[in-house]
Amino acid sequence: MTLEKIADNVWKEMIKDHQGEWGMDIHHWDWVPGVGVISMLAYYEAAQKPEVMDYLLTWVEQNKEKAKGNKVINSIAPFAIFPALYRHTKDAWFRDEAIRVAEWMIHEAPRTRELAFEHTVTEKAEFHEQVWADTIFMAVLFLARTASLIGSTKYAEEALQQVLIHLRLLQDDETNVLFHGWNCATGDHMSAARWTRANAWIASGVPLIVEQIKPLITIPTELQERYQRLMNGLLAYQQTDGLWSTVMDYPDYYREISGSAGIAYGVWKAMDIGLLEQEDHYNEAVERTLIASTAFISAAGVVGGVSGGTPVMESIPAYQEISIYPTLYGQGLTLMLLAESLRRKSDI
């Protein structure tokens, strides 16, 4: 089966009726469908299939009422497609909603004592004073895209500041990869897990953010150096099969596809915008992940090997106990990698 067909199957599986399945139900307003629609936009931009854009517009119309009153960092994710939808339709509602949400983030979103956005969620759970890697993809990406849309240096500077704070707090000086989270109140990384999908959120999110804000503000050397250290550190943990274990420094733990795909996508995207050098060993690493990941995709387009929703766990062994089942973010990060592969082939 060709990559084009595999990618098409993956996105079509995402839009089927999965009502009642937490991981695959796209008709609610939270981070899980948010990653789904972000990835569909990436697929549309690579493949230029009008039916994908049509679906995104229909999805917003069907689900926008569910966003009202739902002000947490994790539920920002679906808004990340709004700047592109405004450019496509010229409907001012998309622009105005993006600005409204961005203003909430800047002025009202809870912050930790280090001024990072506190990782707030829609579930009945509080993570007081906690900084999670996930926030970069779920919320800061939206802020950067809105900055680009309206030419706001204020939004761009906040997006940059959030990236730097997260990297400073989460990056391990010994291995250069990221811990899942940081507790500002206790001053530690909690279980101190080098969780693969946490690294994927930042590996893929940072180049997408930098691409949006670099026409507006100067990208400091610190960000470039930290990101390069991160990606080289991650590649040191890539297993011989091309994938990463769910906790990357535990090679006997199960391989996790969403995190692996997100890291590989980040490598390619970072090379495109100059955060990483154009080097053969980076391309070779991504190609290995691409080949290995496609082996986990069923003929129907279901991406296997994806761990369920994962807060910062109480211990490293607890990550190995997280169940594996299909999710929109697993489909999504894999679709982004597939879409980037298709785009690169079309560029040749």
Q: What is the pLDDT of residue 123?
A: 78
CB-based contact 220:285 (threshold 8 Å): no
Of 143, 237, 235, 248, the C-alpha closest to 198 is 248
What ranges in the chain are assigned the alpha helix state H? 3-14, 31-47, 50-63, 82-89, 92-107, 134-135, 141-150, 153-170, 196-213, 221-236, 257-273, 280-294, 316-320, 328-347
Decide: 305 and 255 in contact? Cβ < 8 Å. Answer: yes
pLDDT attached to residue 346: 61
Q: Structure tokens of 77?
A: 């994710």
Q: Please choose, from the candidates 233, 247, 266, 44, the residue with its C-alpha nearest in 3D space to the C-alpha of residue 136.
A: 266
Q: Say how many C-beta atoms besides its own lie within 10 A of residue 141's C-beta.
A: 25
Q: Residues 6 or more apart from 42 whose CB is under 8 A from it?
A: 335, 336, 339, 340
CA trace torsion 39, 43, 46, 50 (10° rounding): -130
At 18-75, the pLDDT tens digits run 999 999 999 999 999 999 999 999 999 999 999 999 999 999 999 999 998 778 999 9
For tokens 């098409």, what's the residue? 8
Look at residue 120 in the predicted model and tell me its pLDDT.
84
Q: Which residues of the chain have pLDDT under 50?
A: 348
For 112, which DSSP code? -
Note the pLDDT tens digit of each residue in 160-200.
999 999 999 999 999 999 999 999 999 999 999 999 999 99
- Sign of the CA dihedral with 254 first, then 257, 258, and 259 last: positive
Tokens of 111: 């912050």
